[in-house]
Structure 1
Amino acid sequence: MPLSAPDRERVVEELGREPTRAEAALFENLWSEHCAYRSSRPLLSAFESDGEQVVVGPGDDAAVVALPDEELYVTFGIESHNHPSYVDPYDGAATGVGGIVRDTLSMGAYPIALLDSLYFGEFDREHSQYLFDGVVEGIADYGNAIGVPTVGGSLAFHAGYEGNPLVNVACVGLLPPDRLLTAEAQHAGNKLVLVGNATGRDGLGGASFASEDLGKDAATEDRPAVQVGDPYAEKRLIEANEALIDESLVESARDLGAAGLGGASSELVAKGEFGARIDLEAVHQREPGMNALEILLAESQERMCYEVAPENTERVAEIADRFDLGCSVIGEITDGNYSCTFDGETVVDVPAEFLADGAPANDLPTERPAEPTRDLPETALDTAFERVIGDPNTASREWVYRQYDHEVGLRTARGPGDDSAVLAIQETGTGLALSAGAEPNWTAAAPHAGARAIALENATNLAAKGATPLAAVDCLNGGNPEKTDVYGGFSAIVDGLAGMCDALSVPVVGGNVSLYNDSAAGAIPPTPTIAMLGARDGYDAPPTELVGDGTILVIGDRALAGHEAGLGGSTYLDTTDGSDRFPTLPENPHALIETLADVANREGTRAVHDASHGGLAVTLAEMISPVAGADVELDGPASAAEQLFHEQPGRAVVETTTPDAVREAFADIAPVHEIGTATDTGRLDLATDDGELSIAAGTIAERRAVLDRAMD
């Protein structure tokens, strides 16, 4: 993807001359949509990023948030590896994990958890299953090998991802305050040291490749733009990074990701308002005969760029050698331009800030997406129930997460399959709750309201485990922003996500933008993945499954009848080809989440599960086990379908022995409906005005094992 004519003119005006070949390639990659956020930057000011707990906000490799006691910090970051995962699902997904882990290292933290949010075309398509299989295997093999548990995430299948899957990966790290690093250069005269794998020709032009639509031959033509990972080198790099920080040898750090060495080194010095002088021939290389452009832009994995005081470079090299990693002193920080030499010639000599931050923002027109029409199908209760609980979008994810080592590190108190993961931070007795995901059916039906719903649902996931949200990061995925309707939908999800996070008092402390997710199959649905973390005292969170001795309550609005029902975006309508308005959301989400977290921590609470994807039907199905069932009766003006399958977020099902106390807690905040009792039958017995249903836990589990049957 060549440097555009307007960008070239801007560069020529700044430099007073034509750029060299290496300079033009650097500007092409660093001014790409992937690196510079040119189309999304004007929208991102909608997010509130400040808060007492925020130590480092947007703009660094990862955000840093203080835990409630302030004795420890956590880092939080998210990134996409969408195009690479289409071209090569295994390596594309694996190197996405590696990249977000190195973002964690560059802040001085030790990675303690991963979350992956995955989106593919319709599940019954052979190509979707091929991509799904490769992506999960890539994440599993890389994460398991480096010893970082994958504890949560999300999975969705939708026709809009057939030609362009999404792979969004988040990472959480842990560090004490005195180990905090940033990606901001500190002092002129310090050395730039490259530690890690040797530089090869893999991943060339990856940033520009990620900033264009996927062509029909992308799987073959774009293969050189996909990096190849080595998780065992990454594990050695993790431990070497710890050793370097233990000895206070690092002044600042940046991992080598998009745009390779050129991107990492120029951004590092630009952030500190410095320049650099780099000898490209000093870079340790894997392949002979590499030219300047290849050394600058290769996105070879498992590499870090460190700022090191001159007197410490030998010790850094010794530690790198101890962990069998390459080490090169490649240059130094200066007060001048960002310059690179190769073979005795200066091949780059530009202002660092202009290179890293000089890309102009795009002012693009928008068009409001069309509203869905109303078309409610009529389906028998038992048929609808079986379809919804057996749909790939609500089915058991066990096939995925049993491939992940989610116990490594011995911190996982609640792992995959629950509303949110809970990590035990034993050092302070804090439970760290984590949730991530999006719902393409919601944002395809109503981008603004759907994005608000996604933020609320993730907050509800945390509250269901007794945690109060602290912060969030987002991965904003969209199609080609040059199409007015696509950019209109993208703008709507940004506003919706920002608005709900603000209403919840949850700062959005970092994120990633991935646009040009278009292919011959068309644009993806606007997909605002959000990862949210929260904290609670202790880590003994209530389970999702019923215990069998309490009253069952639904917290939140009950389905209304007729036009006010709001089944839009639901799995029910997706399985029956219907469409409808999106449900309204609670008026006071902040109070709702805080109260739910409080109720989840009460002694009388036996189980808590959020009600969202698949509605109340899937929620109850997931709470049933062979040792605990439910006797449920639904009545009122709404039909059984409206009550069972609407997916308004901000609702939860609670099993409690103190129902009156729960009602009192939610007075003036949210309605509380008693729908039945927990039993020891291991069956869901459901009575409605439209019919009755009785189904055993084993039968439910069998019908929900869709992924296992297809993938095994």
Structure 2
Amino acid sequence: MSVDTVKHAATSPGVEQPFAELGLKPDEYTRIREILGRRPTSCELAMYSVMWSEHCSYKSSKVHLRRFGDLPTETPVGKLLAGIGEQAGVVDIGQGYAVTFKVESHNHPSYVEPYQGAATGVGGIVRDILAMGARPVAVMDSLRFGPADAPDTHRVLPGVVAGVGGYGNCLGLPNIGGEVVFDSSYLGNPLVNALCVGVLRHEELHLAKASGVGNQVILYGAKTGGDGIGGVSVLASETFDADGPAKRPSVQVGDPFMEKLLIECTLELFAQELVVGIQDLGGAGLSCATSELASAGEGGMRVWLDRVPLRDSSLAPEEILMSESQERMMAVVEPAHVEAFLATCEKWDIPATVVGEVDASGRLVVEWHGDVVVDVPPRTVAHEGPVYERPFARPAWQDELQASSPDALERPASGDALRSTLLRLAASPNLCDRSWVTDQYDRYILGNTVLAQPEDAGMIRVDEASGLGVAVATDCNGRYTKLDPYVGAQLALSESYRNIAVSGALPLAVTDCLNFGSPEDPSVMWQFAEAIRGLADGCRALGLPVTGGNVSFYNQTGEQAILPTPVVGVLGVVSDVRRRTPSGWRTPGEVLYLVGTTRPEFGGSEWAHVVHSHLGGLPPQVDLDAERALAGILRQASESGVVSAAHDLSDGGLAQALVEGALRYGFGARVAVAGDPFVALFSESVARAVVAVPVASEADFVNLCGDFPATRLGVVTGEGDDLVVEGQFAISLAELRSAWTATLPALFE
């Protein structure tokens, strides 16, 4: 480095800088030069490259995400305490408590190195929750892979599952739910979406800002290493193909034991009121933390980069700025509190170093052994990156896809054929038992888990005295979204919303993880724009705010984009977790009701997918008014005790709900279906649930439903009894369980 690097950069000869290798476009590089009025230094170039990446800057999605700006900021319980733009959304749940929750992607790193990619995805989302002042209390994961029998799925899936479980288990956080989905479009580009839930009192909320001239900037946590240089910020901003980046950044390496110490240390620092502002070091590492903290505060900061503790002394300053090493946080601390801050870190055996100072310069200045290597307006790095209005257009193949209706496909006509179809679907990779995956996760550690897999929603007790709790669910059917992105996003929202409702909770708020192909493809951008429009309209109709989330583009290999996959997470509150509703029945003689309307809807269905390898037609109709009415019925029924079990109807239809409801506790059922038994059993119409009603409460339940459709299906029978569809077939629970549980162990053990 020269004696005065910034001056040297401004006057050095016009040697071409490697901006393209860092992922910057020519016009972006030109804009950087215009902002600075000179050539950027190599450190500035590194900083802009990671912060202006698709993953960090949202440059292709901002124009569409603005649709979320006019959504509600209040819920039936209280107001939104923090929303879009913060590290995680924070929702008032009553009694002075708030919950923060968010979901983010770690897709490409999990393909490159499955264990560490998934593990550090969990670690990163946990630190986002921690940075808001909350104690993390639970995690969930939404996973998607190529075909279950594909060799590369056998390489990726076991590592991802082990990474999710290994990191979360070591942290001591229960994994309370999620999804595992298989589809050929995810071959070579799995999706690993990690969600975390945290709990805090209202007064404990902290926001990321560097305010107070003279305040000290402290980096604490793990030392900075060469792992993850460029990391997710570059990996998530390129397509996986032969023409991608010549040098793939290394995937971050996680240390959950350090993270556990970091959690406890940070919560103690908050409790001692030693922190003015705090920021997790995730994507883009120090580049992100310094520029975002400075932008949100007084606007000025000086950083002494050579003070950063290193695991590798050979790292260049550019690499230190780009490193995404895990388990690191940055705090802004008043000078009078620095000694106490450092003492608390020492108590927890957490390295901590003063690396900077807040000033009133309006600049972010970074020094390296006395040389100024960065001198930039921080907002231009963190918040004023490129904004692209990418061209988008409905693809020419969309009409043909929707015209390819499943109505002409051969359907099972006899009782034996219906029986075989039910068994085949129950054993299919997307509908079979997930225990092989979820048994690798600790679901009950900490002692507050109320519901977890295989329930429709995860539920956590927040307050032991009152029983106050929260429920969380994530959902998305990518096939629906490909058939109609607007409707598909609303169907993801409605299913997640319904899963909260069947647990007995009141839906409050939404987070999302929007996984799509390349934004440079107009058809992909059309899918994205339509999905955003659908999700915004759906949230408006349901009265739910979007608290934040994540956009993940470039999920494709070569020309093969993934199914558009807008994963939607919904948070709900339950006043007393002792009144929660489980998904399975276990009392002989109770009455089973189907609540909702069934239509002949098979576009994108599991039946069409599994039996005929068909994707075409239209997805199920959205009926958000019906979803809202159903949710109200289910919540009131739970609170008044007139239902003992409830299971939503979604993938696989009524047949799958009966399978899972019977196998949950091992009690059979005898049901009768009206009309076409194939439609009754396998349609995937929305706004429906199966509920078990105590005999003494049947009249009360019917009165509660009022005009909403509620059809008496049959009764719960004894433990170990058959599942019987009258006039069609009977299946022993032993045969059903064998089919349902054998698939994943046979594939992956």
Which band: TM-score by shorter chain?
A: over 0.9
Q: CA deviation at 1:702?
A: 1.1
Taking the TM superposition and a 5 Å limit, the aligned residue runs for 1:531-546 are 531-540=569-578, 541-546=580-585
Q: Is the 8 A contact 2:645 2:691 kept in 1?
A: yes
Deviation per residue, 1:122-172 (Å, 9 max, x gap): 111121122111101001010000111111111111111001000001111
1:19 paired residue number: 40
Cα separation, 2, equivalents of 1:41 and 1:663: 47
Residue number among 353, 361, 374 corresponding to 2:405 in the alignment: 374
1:572 paired residue number: 607
1:214 corresponds to 2:240:
yes
Q: For residue 139 of structure 1, what is the amino acid of its counterpart? A: V
Q: CA deviation at 1:13?
A: 1.5
Q: CA deviation at 1:59?
A: 0.8
Taking the TM superposition and a 5 Å limit, the aligned residue runs for 1:62-81 are 62-69=88-95, 71-81=96-106
Taking the TM superposition and a 5 Å limit, the aligned residue runs for 1:114-129 are 114-129=139-154
Q: Is the 8 A contact 1:553 1:653 kept in 2?
A: yes
SS at match of 2:479: helix
1:6 corresponds to 2:32:
no
Residue number among 375, 394, 399 corresponding to 1:349 in the alignment: 375
Cα separation, 2, equivalents of 1:150 and 1:298: 28
Q: Is the 8 A contact 1:88 1:226 kept in 2?
A: yes
Decide whether aligned partners of structure 1 residues 400 and 270 sit closer, same or farther in structure 2, where only a CA change above 3 A counts.
Answer: same
Taking the TM superposition and a 5 Å limit, the aligned residue runs for 1:651-690 are 651-657=688-694, 658-668=697-707, 670-680=708-718, 682-687=720-725
RMSD: 1.7
Q: CA deviation at 1:599?
A: 1.7
Bigger drift between 1-10 and 647-656 goes to: 1-10
1:702 paired residue number: 738
Q: Is the 8 A contact 2:598 2:685 kept in 1?
A: no
Residue number among 438, 443, 468 corresponding to 1:406 in the alignment: 443
1:605 corresponds to 2:643:
yes
Q: For residue 643 of structure 1, what is the amino acid of its counterpart? A: A
Decide whether aligned partners of structure 1 residues 324 and 18 sit closer, same or farther in structure 2, where only a CA change above 3 A counts.
Answer: same
Q: Is the 8 A contact 1:151 1:412 kept in 2?
A: yes
Identity %: 37
Cα separation, 2, equivalents of 1:181 and 1:25: 29
1:631 paired residue number: 670
SS at match of 1:67: strand
Residue number among 585, 606, 626 corresponding to 2:622 in the alignment: 585
SS at match of 2:209: coil
2:201 paired residue number: 176
SS at match of 1:185: coil
Deviation per residue, 1:484-516 (Å, 9 max, x gap): 111111112212222222211111111011101
Decide whether aligned partners of structure 1 residues 237 and 445 sit closer, same or farther in structure 2, where only a CA change above 3 A counts.
Answer: same
Q: CA deviation at 1:642?
A: 1.8
Q: CA deviation at 1:655?
A: 0.9
Aligned residues: 700
TM-score (norm 2): 0.91
1:562 paired residue number: none
Q: Is the 8 A contact 1:201 1:298 kept in 2?
A: yes
2:454 paired residue number: 417
1:649 corresponds to 2:686:
yes
Decide whether aligned partners of structure 1 residues 683 and 612 sit closer, same or farther in structure 2, where only a CA change above 3 A counts.
Answer: farther
Q: CA deviation at 1:426?
A: 2.4
Residue number among 291, 296, 310 corresponding to 2:316 in the alignment: 291
Deviation per residue, 1:432-488 (Å, 9 max, x gap): 111112122221222211111111111111111110011111011100011111111
1:50 paired residue number: 73
Q: CA deviation at 1:72?
A: 1.2
Taking the TM superposition and a 5 Å limit, the aligned residue runs for 1:408-447 are 408-427=445-464, 428-447=466-485
Cα separation, 1, equivalents of 2:309 and 2:521: 43
Q: For residue 375 of structure 1, what is the amino acid of its counterpart? A: P
Q: For residue 16 of structure 1, what is the amino acid of its counterpart? A: G
Cα separation, 2, equivalents of 1:484 and 1:33: 16
Decide whether aligned partners of structure 1 residues 384 and 99 sit closer, same or farther in structure 2, where only a CA change above 3 A counts.
Answer: same
Q: For residue 709 of structure 1, what is the amino acid of its counterpart? A: A
Deviation per residue, 1:316-367 (Å, 9 max, x gap): 2222222222111001111220010112211100001111111121111212
Decide whether aligned partners of structure 1 residues 217 and 145 sit closer, same or farther in structure 2, where only a CA change above 3 A counts.
Answer: farther
Q: Which stretches in structure 2 are left out of the alignment for 5+ residues?
A: 1-21
SS at match of 2:64: helix
Deviation per residue, 1:609-665 (Å, 9 max, x gap): 1111111111000011465211111122xx322221121232100111333333332
Q: Is the 8 A contact 2:541 2:624 kept in 1?
A: no
Q: Is the 8 A contact 2:152 2:188 kept in 1?
A: no
Task: Detail structure 1 runs of 4+ shifted over 4 Å in the superposition.
Answer: 216-221
Deviation per residue, 1:288-327 (Å, 9 max, x gap): 1221101111001000000011121122222222222211
Cα separation, 1, equivalents of 2:489 and 2:357: 45
Q: CA deviation at 1:80?
A: 0.6
2:519 paired residue number: 481
Cα separation, 2, equivalents of 1:122 and 1:590: 35
